[in-house]
Structure 1
Amino acid sequence: MPGLIKAEDIALVKERASLEDVVREHVTLKSAGSGSLKGLCPFHDEKTPSFQISPARGAYHCFGCGKGGDVISFVMEVEHLTFAETLERLAAKIGIELHYEEGSGPRKENLGRRTRLIEAHRVAEEFYAEELLAQGDARAGRDFLRARGFNGKSAAQFGVGFAPRGGEALAAHLRGKGFTAEELTLAGLVGQGRRGLYDRFRGRLVWPIRDITGDTVGFGARRIFDDDRIAAKYLNTSETPIYKKTHVLYGLDLAKKQIAQGRRAVVVEGYTDVMAAHLAGVGQAVATCGTAFGAEHVKLLRRLLRDDQSAQVVYTFDGDKAGQAAAMKAFELDEHWAAQSFVAVADDGQDPCELRLSGGDEAVRTLVDAAVPMFEFAARTTIDRFDLNAAEGRVQAMRAVAPMLATVRDPDRKPMYARMVAGWLGVGMEELGAAVSRAAHAKATERHTSREAPPEPPDEPTGPHIAVPDLRNPVVQAERQLLQCLVQFPTCVPDDQRALIAPGDFDAPMHSAIFEAIVAADPTQIRSAAGWTDAIAERVSPVVKPMVAELAVASLPTKLDPMSGRPDWRYVQSLVVTVRAEPLRREIDALLSEVRRTSDDPQRMRTVSQRLNETQKALSTLRATLE
């Protein structure tokens, strides 16, 4: 398992990676004044720009959906990568070598090797795409695509290519580009025979298989000639250092944004089904690459679906026995999801590619939208194996479906499904309930005996819930503006003035947490505005971090000095006074109340009155600073 990336390397990536350059790859930015830039948010649909970045402070925030952070969180969010994947991607882009704790991370030569293998696949993809347009044998590939409703534009969109029949063309092309025989065999692009190198794929249509970042890591090849010596309809790249078939989903690089935004993933069975679905408007479609849908694929999609219980995973299967078997296999994985699973099977058993040909784009969209719950499909498939006209058949069917009911987690759906199954079987609810209880007990005993680890639980939300500040309150609004000043201009409040403010003076808990982080951070030790923002963000809980980014990019409701670029001190001082005055007012109210309650205790009343007088004088003195 790779070790942790060293903290100094993380800081270096943050410092060197340009947030503006990274964001511009996804967003058209325009000036928003005061060194800020704005554009349409990449995380939600909008017509008026509410997404704003501050390049100097290395922070972004969307005032529409609330997402915010630094360059690392932006790439993680928009590309749906892990923290480590994001750092490695940014580091490679800006030429920084990452180091790992205790030397347990990837070796430098391994990182360099990966880069070479990825580049070899990129060159191979370009080669195959050009060959598809060539005269001769490639025409059979173009005819195959046309017969399935795909034109040249469709082929280019998905990177479809053609592997020449000769058997050595790709090897020669890649060797001419400077790749070694060892690199090409390691990549799985060629094989080594007695007569030298030979192409792994020959006389086949090829689809590039990309990882979630968009890098091509392998190929899937479809048989199109009857005299192909390899009988298998599909060949896929063998497992290599960069390709593990259980860790990739075809089309995920294209579908990830729609999956994340719509909280729905559609799992189809083949490359042409993915193409047909996307062209029909179902842009969430993905497919496995020569293997059954499994637990590692679940993890890939869970990262995008965020374990949202309202999310949907829709499987499309052929209507034959193989399709039913695939559906039952998928049902076994259902407990790994927080999302709800559905199954879509066309009435005549057509796959999405065939359905698009016969019924058009609308038929594909209707198929997905009309999907039935996975449990309903799996239970029906199981029950249909038995003769329900006979008592013995009903008993066997009940025993077969009971373990499935026992796995249903949703407390609202479970009794509904039970009533539905009891109706199908013609048995009583008590009888079915007893069978389900026995099945659940048997499963628990089996797990205990085999010491089987429970399925991976959904990710828990990070950190405690903290109420969002109520900006309708003018005091809370002043707190926010003071924090904006301190985040954007760390020395705008003199040290002696800042020392008079305590975290407890802030009414909003989030504001209090951020001020506490500001006090803990030392601006004299920070080299840049972005470093100051990072120093604050590192000292707050994950739930508060987006607000730090928001404060870093939000515009202040006052003019900045054209010479210094800072807010006027009188404005800042008014905010300091408002924040400091509020706890004094609260104390005065409490003391007045106590004076009324202690009227029958003269000694206590004199003590409280004296404290009240001192507090009122402190408030008057504070207000006088603004006169």
Structure 2
Amino acid sequence: MDILAQTRTVNIIRVVTDLGYVLHENRKIICPFHPEKTPSLVVYPQNNSYHCFGCGKHGDVINFYAGVANLDYTTAMHELAFNYLPDYKPELYKWGHLKKIQTSAPAKPEKIALPTDTKTYEYKPLHSEIYEDFARVCRLQPANSVWEEAWRYLAGRGFAESTLRKFHIFTVNEYHPVQAYLRNTYNVLDLQESGLFNERGNLIFYRHPIIIPYYRKGRIVFLQGRIIGNPSDTVSRYQFLSGVPVELFNADVMDILKAGQTLYVTEGAFDCMTLMQEGMAAVSLGSATMFKREWMKLFRRFEVCFYFDNDAAGQKAAREYGEVFSQYGVSTRVKTVKEGYKDVNDYFSKRE
């Protein structure tokens, strides 16, 4: 029994509602991870994940339960399996650690409005066409203050122009003309299905003008936006496509790497780009919490080295992924960023 894979399929909406949270319009709930009055955490049944647009917390159904129940990832996985998987064998884990999820309603029950748009996400070639047209239009925009600020920031992160060109980084210099072009060129439903537009019919990269395209076989298959500089308390550092499962960043490098060679795995795309600039083959998960099981077969030919952020969450994720990879026969090791540096990019851009 592959407990991890099966537990990740547990319906996140069922878990959320069983825990007493009320689903509002567009599958939003009051975020349990930071104080707020207006719901900002969105549940995505398409890929069984969540993302809070207030504090930036995101992950799979296990991450959500772990955060709410204040548990580590492994314990949360077993408790969810105990509660929702009929074939789970409690002897696989310590009985004393298993708790039955309370499904009683909160003190002030609200009417649960289940969303109608719970269809499974399906990638279409049109999505890549939309992403690539979006990139083309942005690159045609004249340079302005947004462009200058963004490229100064990227240079400050230690990136050479050749690296930024190699990874096709671009910016949304003027938001409204790009949004208008996409609306006039494509059906809004297609734009929403591709994840580039939100439920209100607006381009999602309003506050995140630095765009990181994810390529596979030469086509853009995913997009990630980043703010310029450090985030505020109300804006998350990154903006991922709305409701679209994340892809591996720089996955094409795996096609040219020889069997047995070291492949570094980072959390963020900037860390991956930094290692590539330093001559080390690397891919990025986009987030340490969003690894997809179908990726596992891609790693079997390599010696995998996790090079995650220098914090408790990053090192914990590296250990847990090491255990998961070993179950699939993949050899792994962990490299730690030196003390005093927060992540790979921080180290390589500031080292003397």
TM-score tier after normalising by the smaller chain length: 0.5 to 0.7
Aligned residue identity for 2:180: A
Equivalent residue in structure 2 for 1:147, among 140, 145, 156: 156
Aligned residue identity for 2:131: H
Count residues with an aligned counterpart: 230
Higher relative contact order (CA 8 A, sep 6+): 2
Alpha-carbon distance in structure 1 between the residues aligned to 2:230 and 2:346: 21
Contact 2:230 2:237 in 1 (8 A): no
Query: Is 2:155 the counterpart of 1:158?
Result: no
* Mapping of residues 334-483 of structure 1, within 5 Å: 334-348=325-339, 350=341, 351-359=343-351
Partner of 1:210: 215
Partner of 1:251: 250
Partner of 2:310: 319
* Mapping of residues 214-225 of structure 1, within 5 Å: 214-224=218-228
Partner of 1:191: 198
Contact 1:318 1:349 in 2 (8 A): no
Contact 1:188 1:237 in 2 (8 A): yes
Alpha-carbon distance in structure 1 between the residues aligned to 2:151 and 2:239: 19
Q: 1:318 to 1:173 in 2, by over 3 A?
A: same
Alpha-carbon distance in structure 2 between the residues aligned to 1:170 and 1:124: 7
Equivalent residue in structure 2 for 1:296, among 293, 299, 310: 293
Q: TM-score, normalised by structure 2?
A: 0.58
Partner of 2:186: 179
Deviation at 1:329, TM superposition (A): 1.9
Q: 1:278 to 1:289 in 2, by over 3 A?
A: same
Alpha-carbon distance in structure 1 between the residues aligned to 2:294 and 2:271: 18
Q: Does the residue aligned with 1:210 lie in a helix, a strand or coil?
A: strand
Deviation at 1:228, TM superposition (A): 6.9
Q: Does the residue aligned with 1:333 lie in a helix, a strand or coil?
A: helix
1:160-203 Cα deviation digits (max 9, x unpaired):
1112464x332222244x3222211111112353xxx4211114
Larger Rg belongs to: 1
Q: TM-score, normalised by structure 1?
A: 0.34
Q: Does the residue aligned with 1:286 lie in a helix, a strand or coil?
A: strand
Q: 1:259 to 1:337 in 2, by over 3 A?
A: farther
Aligned residue identity for 2:150: G
* Mapping of residues 419-568 of structure 1, within 5 Å: none
Q: Does the residue aligned with 1:216 lie in a helix, a strand or coil?
A: strand
Q: 1:314 to 1:333 in 2, by over 3 A?
A: same
Partner of 1:430: none
CA RMSD of aligned residues (A): 2.8
Identity among equivalent positions (%) equals 20
Q: 1:228 to 1:356 in 2, by over 3 A?
A: closer
Structure 1 gaps of 5+ residues are 1-109, 361-627
Contact 1:129 1:160 in 2 (8 A): no
Q: 1:349 to 1:266 in 2, by over 3 A?
A: farther
Equivalent residue in structure 1 for 2:137, among 127, 134, 140: 127
Contact 2:285 2:291 in 1 (8 A): no
Aligned residue identity for 1:156: R
Q: Does the residue aligned with 1:354 lie in a helix, a strand or coil?
A: helix
Q: 1:226 to 1:289 in 2, by over 3 A?
A: closer
Alpha-carbon distance in structure 2 between the residues aligned to 1:288 and 1:114: 22
Q: Does the residue aligned with 2:310 lie in a helix, a strand or coil?
A: coil
Aligned residue identity for 2:330: A
Alpha-carbon distance in structure 2 between the residues aligned to 1:338 and 1:188: 34
- Which structure has the highest helix share of the two? 1
Deviation at 1:331, TM superposition (A): 2.7
1:144-165 Cα deviation digits (max 9, x unpaired):
1010112433222111111246
Deviation at 1:224, TM superposition (A): 1.7
Alpha-carbon distance in structure 2 between the residues aligned to 1:279 and 1:343: 20
Structure 2 gaps of 5+ residues are 1-120
Contact 2:322 2:333 in 1 (8 A): no
Q: Does the residue aligned with 1:342 lie in a helix, a strand or coil?
A: strand
Q: 1:203 to 1:130 in 2, by over 3 A?
A: farther
Alpha-carbon distance in structure 1 between the residues aligned to 2:276 and 2:189: 37
Q: 1:130 to 1:355 in 2, by over 3 A?
A: farther
Partner of 1:276: 274
Deviation at 1:262, TM superposition (A): 4.8
Partner of 2:69: none
